[in-house]
Structure 1
Amino acid sequence: MLLSGNESSTYIAYKLNDILFYYPITPSSPMSEDFEKKALNGEKNIWGRIPLYEQMQSEIGVAGAIHGSLQTGVPTTTFTSSQGLLLMNSAMNRIAGELLPTVIHVASRSLGYQGGNIYGDHSDVMSLRHSGFAMLCSNNNQEIMDFSLIANTLTYLLRVPFIHFFDGFRSSHEIVDVKLISDEQIVKFFKASNFNNFYYNMPNNQFPAIRGAIYSSDIGFQVRETINKNYDRLPIILQKLMNKFEKLTGRSYKIFEYYGEKEATKLIIIMGSASECVKEAVDIRNSKYKDCGVLKVRLFRPFCVDFFIKEIPKTITHIAVLDRTKEIGAVGEPLYQEVCSAFIKIYSNKKLNSNFPLIIHGRYGLSSKDFTPNMALSVFNELDKKNPKNTFTIGIEDDKLGLKYTNIEFKNDLIEVLFYGLGSDRTISTVKLIINNIFKKKLYTQTFFEYDARKSGGITISHLRIGEKTFSKPYKIKIADILVCNQFYFLEKYSLVDNLKKKGILLINSSFLENKFNKVISPLTKKKIRDKEIKIYVFDADFISKKYKQKISFIIQIAFFYIMEKLEKRIFNNSKDSLIQDTIIADIKKSIYLYNIIKTNEPIKQFKQSKNLKELMSENLGDLIPVHKFRKDAIWEIEPTYEFEKREYVDKIPMWNPNSCIQCNKCVFVCPHGAIRSKIITKKEKKNIFYDFNSAIALDDNFQFTQNEFIIQISPNGCVGCELCIEVCPTSNEDEYSIDSLIQIEKKQILEKEEGKWNTFNNTIVESQKNKYIDKIKNTQFIDPLFAFSSACAGCGETAYLKLLTQLFGSRLYIANASGCSTVYCANLPSIPWNKDTNGKSVVWSHSLFENNAEFGFGLKLGIQSHKKQAYELLSTLKYDNIKKEILNCIDFEKQEQIVNKLNKTLLKKENCLNSKKLLKISDYLIEKSLWIIGGDGWAYDIGYGGIDHILNKKEDINILVLDNEGYANTGGHTSNSTPLGAKMKYSLEGKNISKKNLGLLALNYSHVYVASIAMGADAEHTLKVFKEAEKFKGPSIIIAYCPCITHGYNLKYGIEQQEMAVKSGIWPLYSFNPDNLIINKNPMNIYYEPDLSFLNKYLEKEKRFTNSIYLIELYKDFIEKQYKKIKNIQDFYNLK
């Protein structure tokens, strides 16, 4: 059966547990999703029960819940990765100390060091090797299934808990054929577990006992040593179980397993999926030298020296130990330390008959860096040397420690295919459909998917291998037989032809058909295609999909099988409407064109050889960047790299018609990507511009004509086609006779001219109207944002809030950002969407973790205060009390900046004064800073709520902005405590059965906190008012912002309309509570909405997450009435007061 590693793990975990506690974290979340689906489908475990499953607010909660459940004798599990595992650490110590049996399944993933990282290595599990949990590693998907059963059996037999781990993404998301273990086999094998002894013999009221007592110093040491025998016996019993498993299934395993020549002299010791790559390298090398082998490590804790040394040939003289983690300051990484310690122990006990081998160690595969047989061969080559490197890295360009390797293509009988697509363009779904069709025909496949951190719009690369026999190649395809490209502009941007073998096939989805195709590709690409004799097939999937009313995934499948002649006849044979289907397929094939690249004398453009880091990363060439090119401290300077994030896949973009525009600037305000801008310039300035811009006579706030010109300009490659601007435009679709101010037009018709106009508009037209009287939304939009062209989804409901923050508070902004969508689109290298103002200043943006963002922001605030205090003290020391007084009395932040700039010029003249130099370094802190703690609802309502509550209970001037899209969007749309009643999301597939947490009302328990609930699409002026009030308020403030999201299940071009419906119906409240009003004897609670239940059905019906809107209406009526009454009661309370 075709299964991913995650599915293989869940298959067994579901059958051998009664309870799952979980919390979403990439790449382990699919395991919990799969568990939930099985339960909802009524599947039963081996005891005939449907397991319970419960989402917690964080992994700390998960670990605590597991501990409690295990205390009652109930089999309980979880799935996790990375920081999630580390948050369980303390509870895991207790679980292991109390000998409570469980298996935690880990899709191992990098920890965050210099920055956030969602990719795979062993740094998470290796950080828990002291926990007391046994650690069992699976190398492939079959082992994941098999070892899940073995670990679950052994944990009850010895009462030692297990971490069962496998490589995140490489194994967790790889899809291969896995042989299932039947229920009968599971029951038969699990009988050895002594499970009933655990299930029926835990303390209860009839047999009372206490657990978790406090030990005194006189007995603590002794108690800690009581568990030794359990761990000493574990390797022996584990091997016996593996032997028993072989008799049951025919699959043989050892806790340490050697592969290679019997009298080998060179050995690589490794664990995880990379061991399969080393195995392949061993075969290649031994075909010539017959001198090497590989030792696969499966049981890492407890590390059994006797089993270890028994498996190694006595002829071994040179050993390389490879670790998939980095341990700063240690003699070596964890596996290397264990190997060295094992040999020392054997040697000191005189059990080693031969000489002590030479042992070197290396690091590989951090953050999912690919590891290949060629790299393994280079390690063996290093062992050949007289003086090999003691410590090395492999797989990266490392000037000091790196081993060089050659990418040699080894012949095989496989068909290797690469699919390039965009996140959410269904390329990955298509590949999954293709492999299922291939698998039905008894061919073997291996599929691996590369993602970036974005949930849509990021590049995806699918690696598919097809063969007649079983095979294992857990590494990426570098050069493919066939390359399928679902986005035309990838062809040039990523030089895709370089990834094809000679006489390979390129299948490309493009609207440039017939003669147009030859015209739009560069001379260099044409030359490469001719030199490699590549066949090119072009088809327009969007056009074909509309013509035949078929899904794009269906079209791509047909096109793919069409070019693979041997497989073509094997598809879709089981269709019920085979005659109709055959007709459609035949017609679609006629729409697939085979092209010959015409040889021309076009000059080949010479690209610059020297590219900076971000340019290389943007072209998917990060592997070529050497270690020394990066900064050590993880600081990335803000420079105009946001241009890299401009996505060119949109066919149509809006064009502005000045004749019907009313100059409201709503289109500019709602644009999530800052791709549409407005400016006011003088007529004289317009004459000096090269391009002839469309313009209108500028209107003032009272809609009276002025002497200036009003311009709107769209960035054609920056626009992502969300159409929010068109939907929000007051002139759009007014009536059949009206002329729209924004109309959609084919981009290719106007691209070159409009891009030139955009560059002129953006780079040479200075912000001539710096209207600081920002009392209206219209006027805020004349200010250039410092946030634009992010990697957020088209129509994202979050980014316009951040854009507005930069327009209001500009280069005074400090942002502490929680993990989630906002982290990804705010700083997803190489694209940084932040820009500098005309003075070269910008936002200071920082990110720590998911769970601690509020506290992280609090630390930033106190740090800023400390610098500010020091700066004022230096002003006094230098006798600048007049300047100090001037700054303190100045409430205009722009004037503050002018005073500080003038001060800096004075300080520069005093080169020999130490205090002047010190003040010059920190004088910027004399300008009042605007600190914002920002994150999504997963952070604010769940994992970080405790931190938020703690900060609100302070009196520091801190602003919190909650971007509430009512779910864990970046993990793929999982339920949070903000998910509304009845909404269907992952982890609540039947609809959430409880109302969302009311974060605003909870915050209103503090009378000293500014609290507001906003929805920019429903009331833009209220949003502006709240932002300004919160920033002005000298205390803690929290703003909860409604954010439409693709996880809500509707076209986000209607996001503004949905916000209006949410507010009008009363589902989403608009209010602000401003404690400053109490000082001037005003009611602090202002309400800006009144529920009208007639809009409720319209709101619910629009979103696919609410599937049973008729049933929900009655429930929501009650919810809306109660919510409004609570908010009104607060207003009434202060009226009475």
Structure 2
Amino acid sequence: MSKLIVDGNWAAADVAYRCVDFAAIYPITPSSTMGELADEWSFQHKKNIWGAIPQIIEMQSEGGAAGAMHGALQMGALATTFTASQGLLLMIPNMYKIAGEQTPFVMHVAARALATHALSIFGDHSDVMSVRSTGFAMLSSHNVQQAHDMAAIAHAATIRSRVPFLHFFDGFRTSHEESRLTRIDDDVLHEMIPDSLVLENRARGMTPDKPTIRGTAQNPDVYFQGREAANPLYEKTPEIVQECMDKFAKLTGRKYKLVDYVGDEKAENVIVAMGSACETIEETLPHLPKGLGLLKVHLYRPFPTAAFLAALPKSVKRIAVLDRTKEPGSIGEPLYQDVKSVVGDGVVVYGGRYGLGSKEFKPRDVKAVYENLMQNTLHHNFTVGIDDDLSGLSLKTDAAFRVEDPGFKTAVLYGIGSDGTVGAVKNIVKIVGENSDLYPQSYAVYDSKKSGGLTASHIRFSDAPIKSQYLVEVADFISVSNFMIAQRFDVFHGLRSGGTVMINTSLAPDVAFANLPKDTQEHLMRIRANVYFLDANRAAAELGLGNRINTFIMLNFFNLTKVINPKDAAESAKVAIEKTYKKKGMDVVQANWAAVDQASKYLVKYNMPSSVSNFAPDFVPAMTLDAPAEIAGTLGEIAAQRGDAIPVSRFRVDGQFGGGQYPVGTSKYEKRAVSDKVATVDIDKCIQCGKCSMLCPHAVIRIKAMTEQQAEDARAKGIKVVPMKTPELGANMYFTINISPADCTGCSVCVKNCPVGALSMVPARDVMAENQAAFNAAEEIPNIEREKLNLNIPKHVELLPHYFEFPGACAGCGETPYVKLLSHLFGDRMVVANATGCSSIYGANLPTTPWTSDSKGRGPAWSNSLFEDNAEYGLGMRLALNQKRDNLKALLFELGIADVEQIFDETDAAKQREIESNLRAQLAKIDGPRARLAESLVGEIVNKSVWIIGGDGWAYDIGYGGVDHILHSGENVNVLVLDTEGYSNTGGQQSKSTPFGASMKFAIGGKDHAKKDLGMIAMMSGAYVAQIAMGANQAQAIRAFREAEAFNGPSIILAYAPCIAHGFALQNGVSHQMQMVQTGAWPLFRFNPDLIANGQNPLTMDSSVDNPMPLEDFLKTESRFGAARAANPQFNKLVDLAKANNAYKSELKKHIAQFAMLHKPEVKENGEG
């Protein structure tokens, strides 16, 4: 049996792949990598234990995956899937069917929180507890090794029992923890799953050679009896599972029971738990008084009553049951109710909750539960790990309590999302595992931001297996990959006395230390830390590695910690580098080898002074000083990484903050300063085209036009102002352009696309103070009135107020410019239904959000429901708004208001505002409840612009049914599809929008079928349809948005959005959009059915392919195609198919337009169609 360093997802997927014929998959965090691995292994022709290559298929949704598996199972195949959270819920209908038909099957779940008052991608048991009534057996793993072992036991037990199994482990805490694994050999799995049982299962499969009828509809006379007939199978299942565990023990030496007991054999106080918490409780027990125990539940369904009672010491008086879920309104959570039912009245049983949404569960929490049990002070329905000062349910904990083995070697490496630190840590752990007998453990903590958020990678090394399922609290080594982290957060408070600090910065050591916060300097001196400074950014630049600093972080970790011999680490790193980068050429490999050899050259030992710097700063505040109290309070605590301590009383009953709804416009107060280099502009070179402002993915570039008096006032505030170069806004108008360096991500999109080179990238520290002050002052300059602007001109659009600013998207994101443009045009009257995905995460991820309001308090009203239902969600918004307008109209007629029909016929938004104001004045003079009711609705005079936003994974796949429905509904809704040609939010899996030949996750060898043409499909529905690429044609994008919004019916805009998953530097995103259009793969067009009634062609082609860019040339510029070319010998055939498909669709669109002209609607004399 081989020993590997892997995470829990790999551990489960490895067994699952080898034990099945078929897997239907769909991406969802944190389970996605299981499906990715299965797809990769299948492409590599790795075989299962019967010598066959499992077939892996990605479906359009989890519901689709469940249906496909159900079909495969009916044919006698062995199948699996991997899922979590909402995805698991979508499988519930099929789970009932599969269980009811007593079909062997195993699904593997990285257990995750459900979306309730908010979405959470993090771990708890809410999802798996929601399916406990389906009839699936449920088997729980508690660590990475168990995720491997229990997967094998589940696959063995299901085929023996004919009961389907759900095997689960904690999302992130287990699924993403890297640890040492002893791999199960194929012969062991084969012994666990004998061929005879496989053949029996296959024989039960449907075949026309022995026809059967399944899935009948039954009547009241027999349905009940049929439901009860399965009882014997469920009664035998616990015994079968234990038999499989016993056989597994004989084959591997690793022993398990349905319920494992650890602790005092005469314990009076016992905790019952499932999942990774069991490891922490077991680790803590030796540090507590005698008389305590722990029951670790593995088999949860069918609940193993006999095994539970046999394992429970007869001496027990009190039990605390820990559930990692919440069921509002119940008498207790699921595991508690089961335990309470089993033990009866002779033992006092308390139920409590912990760890929701990956909340930390630490030894101090374990101690608090046991102490309250021992003192008989525990109350039912308790919580632990939070401060519930509202209901008084939380237990007080001892913050100083620690149990971590002093023999552990521990480290925490802090970074910024997408900077490579997390990847460096994964390599560190693998290298240590391969070069020593140490047991490694790594676990990364990060938020949902797409990039730029704080990451913390926690590492432990030990001579024995590690049970600590919580973050490192005391570290021997702490590194910081970005100096801003050390200035903003108290990251060194957990450093052990005499520990080592490594800080990456381009500043000279003396300057850097002097600029550390005063408290940090004092702390490092007090504990006599060993301080090192690393200039990895200079190293990467000098060695031609761009901004990739992870190798320098990794090698200097080994140089300073000596966890293993640094020379051995360097040799292992070189082997890994060659394996990773050989496809890119030996020059790339050698550059990375040089980084390994020269890493220590850029590391400097710093001798701390005897006293703190005279000018030592305080910590940079998490929110700017001008942030309102509501934002600086709770949200400020979250931004400062102190959200764990926020008490329950600070939240409203709906889980939100403060007295109002979640506040808008909060991102402007965070000022994350995540980039060492930022954009700056030479206003004298600027030609005032507004291109940089429009293309900026992060809304950090602002242009303003102003009068002569305003210009004088601006100059007095340090704002650079020049005369406007064009007269369309009037004579004597002035112009300013300013950039917020604290919000700039350093993506360089503006620099790459300025037609005159007026922008450049400079060190942030050189311009931060001056440019930020100018930007802030310029924001006070009033915007030009909308009515004075020509909104077909891009630079005029950029003079409108910003309603979307500073999102936490990837640097250079291709999606956000479209969202920003949309908000410019309609933001003051816009309602947004946003599908779960990238746009919902950068759009509304705590602590701050980019959607904001104008000086009049108006702005987009934004909401997210789920991934799969966004089209329907937005349609519901539209229908409710329609109903409000209808109700208002009826009330105005009833109240005798004049010209009601004319009021509601008005379509101009500015005039609607005037009407609204006049109506309010009229209604204020009318007494009575009907007038008050009308007043509550008068805002509906201004017709709201409903926009339904999401990515291609939503629109092409999981939500396509809803999109199709609303496009045929006739209702006035607008759909914006941010098309990245893949599932960006879950890590870059293929969608139906992925083009021919692109290598994405779930399509490693290149997608072998055509991209779905959603635009062409939509054209058949009578909707307005446009396909745009802002980088290729900004004016066309603006026109499409305006036409779509003006169209009185459904509209859909398909917006091409470059993504990091495409495999090129996003600073070149605009040129890639141009090239995509030039190849003919993304033609720009607008299809407006309104033109048909006037005898005009509804299809306008806005791009020409008279001189097309060869598709082959474009494919060479993106590694998603290069990877497929290297992996797939048939790649050139895929390219030919793609070219033929593009030509075919181009011709087909023309024929559709001609067909529409031939079948234009007849216009009646009264104007009705």
Normalising by the smaller structure, the TM-score range is over 0.9
Question: Residue 747 of structure 2 aligns to which amino acid in structure 1?
Answer: C
1:1124 and 2:1143 aligned:
no
Q: Which residue of 2 aligns with 1:315?
A: 315
Deviation at 1:533, TM superposition (A): 2.4
Partner in structure 1 of residue 917 of structure 2: 901
Q: Please state if 1:479 is matched with 2:496.
A: no
Q: Which residue of 1 is the match for residue 1043 of structure 2?
A: 1029
Q: 1:819 matched to which residue of 2?
A: 836
**Aligned 8 A contact 1:9 1:148 in 2:** yes
Give the structure-1-normalised TM-score.
Answer: 0.95
2:939 corresponds to:
924
Deviation at 1:770, TM superposition (A): 6.1
> Alpha-carbon deviations, 1:450-507, whole Å to 9, x = none?
2322343332211100112222111111232211111111112221122323332211
2:447 counterpart of 1:452 = yes
Which digits, 9 at most, give the CA deviation of each residue in 1:1010-1029, with x for residues without a partner?
Answer: 11111111111111111111
Q: 1:698 is matched with which residue?
A: 724
Tell me if structure 1 keeps the 8 A contact 2:705–2:783.
no
Partner amino acid for 1:721? Answer: G
Q: Is the 1:456–1:793 Cα contact (8 Å) retained in structure 2?
A: yes
Which of 553, 556, 567 in structure 2 is aligned with 1:559? 556
Deviation, structure 1 residue 651: 2.4
- What is the 5 A alignment of 1:317-716? 317-344=317-344, 356-399=346-389, 400-407=392-399, 408-410=401-403, 412=405, 413-439=407-433, 440-549=435-544, 552-565=549-562, 567-569=564-566, 571-572=568-569, 574=571, 587-598=598-609, 599=611, 600-602=613-615, 605=618, 611-634=632-655, 636-644=661-669, 646-689=671-714, 690-700=716-726, 706-716=731-741
Deviant stretches of 4+, over 6 Å: 575-584, 606-610
**Aligned-residue offset at 1:236:** 1.4
Structure 2 length as normaliser, TM-score? 0.92
Equivalent-residue separation in structure 2 for 1:766 and 1:1016 (angstroms)? 24
Give the structure 2 partner of residue 210 of structure 1: 213
Deviation at 1:837, TM superposition (A): 0.6
Task: Give the paired residue count.
Answer: 1112
SS of aligned partner of 1:1055: helix
Q: Could you tell me which residue of structure 2 aligns to residue 353 of structure 1?
A: none
Q: Conserved in 2, the CA contact under 8 Å of 1:397 and 1:624?
A: yes
Give 1:194's aligned amino acid: L
In the alignment, structure 1 residue 1105 sits paired with structure 2 residue 1143: no
Q: Is the 8 A contact 1:1017 1:1056 kept in 2?
A: yes
Rounded to whole Å, the distance in 2 between the matches of 1:640 and 1:784 is 13
Stretch of structure 1 that moved more, 1050-1059 or 87-96: 1050-1059
SS of the residue corresponding to residue 707 of structure 1 reads: coil
Q: Which residues of 2 match residues 928-1077 of structure 1 at below 5 A?
A: 928-1006=943-1021, 1008-1077=1022-1091
Distance 1:582 1:95 in 2: 53
Kindly provide the amino acid, as one letter, of the partner of residue 80 in structure 2. T
Cα distance in 2, alignment partners of residues 892 and 546 from structure 1: 55
Structure 2 SS opposite 1:706: coil
* Residue pair 1:1061, 1:1098 contacting (<8 A) in 2 also: no
| Residues 266, 291 of structure 1: 8 Å contact kept | yes
Give the letter aligned to residue 719 of structure 2: F
Q: Measure how far apart 1:621 and its partner are.
A: 1.1
Q: Do residues 175 (structure 1) and 178 (structure 2) align?
A: yes
Helix, strand or coil for the counterpart of 1:982? coil
TM-aligned CA distance change 1:217 to 1:1103, over 3 Å = same
**Aligned equivalents of 1:527 and 1:770: distance in 2?**
58
Aligned to 1:888: 904
Q: Structure 1 residue aligned with 2:929, among 914, 923, 926?
A: 914
The structure-2 alpha-carbon separation of the partners of 1:528 and 1:909, relative to structure 1 and needing over 3 Å to count, comes to farther
Distance 2:911 2:378 in 1: 63
Aligned counterparts of 2:372 and 2:504: Cα–Cα separation in 1: 45
Q: Say whether the 8 Å CA contact 2:16–2:80 is kept in structure 1.
A: yes
SS of 1:194's partner is helix
CA 1:410–1:1080: 2 relative to 1, 3 Å: same
Deviation, structure 1 residue 357: 1.3
CA distance in 2, matches of 1:298, 1:577: 42
Long gaps (5+) in structure 2: 576-589, 1126-1130, 1160-1169
Q: 1:507 to 1:260 in 2, by over 3 A?
A: same
* Separation in 2, partners of 1:718, 1:974: 30
From the superposition, tell whether residues 590 and 1018 of structure 1 become closer, same or farther in structure 2 (CA, over 3 Å).
closer
Q: CA deviation at 1:903?
A: 3.5
Q: Deviations over 1:1030-1088 (max 9, x none)?
A: 11111111111111111111111111111111112211011111111123222211111
**Residues 769 and 861 of structure 1: is their aligned pair in 2 closer, same or farther, counting only changes over 3 Å?**
closer
Q: 1:1083 aligns with which of 1097, 1121, 1128?
A: 1097
8 Å CA contact retained: 1:959, 1:1038:
yes
Q: Distance in 1 between matches of 2:898 and 2:385?
A: 58
RMSD of the alignment, in Å?
A: 2.3
Give the C-alpha shift of residue 887 in structure 1. 3.0
Q: Distance in 2 between matches of 1:332 and 1:8?
A: 33
Q: Partners of 1:780 and 1:655 in 2: how far apart?
A: 22
SS at match of 2:193: helix
Letter in 1 for 2:1139: K
750, 763, 771: which is aligned to 1:754?
771
Select the residue among 32, 35, 38 that pairs with 2:35: 32
Amino acid at match of 1:986: K
Contact preservation (8 Å) 1:680, 1:710: yes
Where does the alignment leave 5 or more consecutive residues of structure 1 unmatched?
A: 348-355, 732-739
Deviation at 1:249, TM superposition (A): 1.2
Q: Map Cα deviations across residues 709-735 of structure 1 (whole Å, 9 max, x no partner).
A: 11111111111111221222222xxxx
Secondary structure of 1:464's aligned partner: strand
Q: 1:920 to 1:625 in 2, by over 3 A?
A: farther
- For 2:850, the aligned partner's letter is P
Q: How far did 1:856 drift?
A: 0.7
- Structure 1 residues 605 and 1023 mapped into 2: Cα distance closer, same or farther (>3 Å)? closer
Mapped to 1, the partners of 2:206 and 2:819 lie a distance apart of 54
Q: Does 1:149 align with 2:152?
A: yes
Greater Cα offset, 305-314 or 559-568: 559-568
Give the letter for the 2:555 counterpart.
I
CA distance in 1, matches of 2:572, 2:488: 39
8 Å contact kept, 2:833–2:863: yes
Q: Distance in 2 between matches of 1:958 and 1:577?
A: 55
Change (3 A) 1:587 1:950: closer
The answer for the alignment partner of 1:13 in structure 2 is: 16
Q: Which residue of 2 aligns with 1:195?
A: 198
Q: Determine the C-alpha separation between the residues in 2 that align with 1:594 and 1:937.
A: 50
Helix, strand or coil at the partner of 1:390: coil
Asked whether the equivalents of residues 432 and 569 of structure 2 are also in contact (C-alpha less than 8 Å), the reply is no
8 Å Cα contact 2:284/2:403 also seen in 1: no
Q: Which moved more, 1:921-930 or 1:44-53?
A: 921-930
Whole-Å Cα distance in 1 between the matches of residues 229 and 594 of structure 2?
Answer: 74
* 1:86 partner amino acid: L
1:880 Cα deviation (Å)?
2.6
CA distance in 2 between counterparts of 1:634 and 1:906 reads 39
Cα contact 2:86–2:127 (8 A) shared by 1: yes
Please state how far the C-alpha of 1:885 moved relative to its aligned partner. Answer: 4.6
Contact 1:156 1:194 in 2 (8 A): yes
> How far off its partner does 1:1136 sit?
5.5
Query: What residue identity is the alignment partner of 1:409?
Result: R
Match of 1:828 in 2: 845
What CA distance in whole angstroms lies between the structure 2 residues aligned with 1:581 and 1:862? 58
Q: Displacement of 1:575 after TM fit?
A: 6.4
> Are the structure 2 counterparts of residues 506 and 771 from structure 1 closer, same or farther at C-alpha, using a change threshold of 3 Å?
farther
Q: What letter corresponds to residue 441 of structure 2 in structure 1?
A: Q
Larger mean CA deviation between 1045-1054 and 546-555 belongs to 546-555
For residues 605 and 97 of structure 1, do their structure 2 counterparts lie closer, same or farther at Cα, with a shift above 3 Å needed? closer
